[in-house]
Amino acid sequence: MFDGLLQEKAVLVADGAMGTTLFELGLESGDSPERLNVEQPDMIAQVHRNFVKAGADLILTNTFGGNRRRMSLHRMEDRVGEFNRAGVSIAKRVAEEAERPVVVAASVGPTGDLFAPLGLLSHAEGVEVFSEQMESLVAAGADILWIETLSAWEEIAAATEAASGLATPHAVTLSFDTNGRTMMGLRPSDFGKWWTELPPDRRPVALGANCGTGLQEALTAAAAIKEAAAEATVIVKSNCGIPVFREGGLNYPEGPEQMGDYARQALEAGCSIIGACCGSTPPHIQAIRAALDGA
């Protein structure tokens, strides 16, 4: 599904923010978004549906924090499989409703713990944590595993080892800050070089930059990844700037009116999958779709 649609369209529009949208719909800080896959599936489906209507070719499941380490913070680690399977099921239902092909990308976020030597999580434990989540996502029928918002080589190694043992393809994105590096110091160029040095059968089918601190930083990172890995399918899925607290809520500075230029710059940088992250709404995605359709 993923490869076929990418070959057909050359550039795919990814969706926008799930997490910040759920906060606007009433999710409390500290609550688990993943439990809503079971408790309020219609709400999750409507978020997906709105992004598909806005023009998204690819939607991310509501499973970003659905691993055992993250779920243990809510004392729900025994429900990892349930929440992840439900998240994929909801997204698949929305994709099947659409009048055009829509890729269901299973979101896999960080474990939430530091890996050794800086932390206590070993490589083997990390692989086990990721494998448990990914196996549930694959069993539920996800088109692609979407490993996102990572920042450390150790976590990349564990996540990709877990994914490589499964038949479903996987993508990996890192989050870069204003210094052009991840929180743990990784540079976009090194990430691209890492991809080129992998055996072809173990390479992610796509890699790139997501979240971060704003559109320009994500574009710069994605361009550097593409320069280092010219043959790679590159993703950019930026957040909408650093939010400020105003009028009783968080406000992101980069609105839909900035997304047309962002999409065109991403296309010029060689990106093949273009979407948005925290703070983005269906109008943001609609602006990306319009810009790419007019390119």
User: Would you say the pTM of this structure is higher than 0.95?
Assistant: yes
Please, what is the Cα angle at 140 between 77 and 211, to 5 degrees?
70
First to last CA, the chain: 24
Q: Please, which residues have CB within 8 angstroms of residue 129's CB and are 6 or more apart in sequence?
A: 67, 68, 69, 111, 121, 158
**249 pLDDT exceeds 80?**
no
How do residues 202-246 score in pLDDT, each as one tens digit? 999 999 999 999 999 999 999 999 999 999 999 999 999 999 887
Span 153-193, pLDDT tens digits: 999 999 999 999 999 999 999 999 988 999 999 999 999 99
Residue 94 has pLDDT above 90, yes or no: yes
Residues of the chain with pLDDT > 90, as a percent, come to 94
Residue 282 pLDDT > 90? yes
CA distance 269 to 217: 13
115 DSSP β-pair partners: 121
Pick the range with the lowest mean pLDDT from 8-17, 82-91, 186-195, 246-255: 246-255
213, 249 in Cβ contact below 8 A? no
Q: Which secondary structure element, helix H or strand E, spans residue 67, and what is its range?
A: none
Residue 206 has φ and ψ, to the nearest 5°, of -155, 155
Residue 61: pLDDT band by 50, 70, 90 thresholds?
very high
Count the Cβ atoms, other than its own, within 10 Å of residue 68. 18
Helical H segments across the chain, by residue range: 2-9, 19-24, 36-39, 41-54, 68-71, 80-97, 123-139, 153-164, 188-197, 215-228, 259-268, 282-293
Q: Is 102 within 8 Å of 92 (Cβ atoms)? A: no
271-276 and 244-246: which strand pairing?
A: unpaired
CATH pick for 2-293 out of 3.30.1330.60, 3.40.190.10, 3.20.20.330, 3.40.50.300 = 3.20.20.330
Of the given ranges (40-49, 183-192, 245-254, 278-287), which has the lowest mean pLDDT? 245-254
Average pLDDT, the chain: 97
φ, ψ (nearest 5 deg) of residue 49: -60, -40
Residue 247 pLDDT exceeds 80: no
| Mean pLDDT computed over 14-18 | 99
Cα angle 13, 16, 20 (rounded to 5 degrees) comes to 175
Token duo for residue 2: 């993923």
Helix count (H) and strand count (E) of the chain?
12, 10
Residue ranges of domains in the chain: 2-293
Predicted confidence at residue 245, as pLDDT, reads 81
Encoded tokens for 194: 């890492």
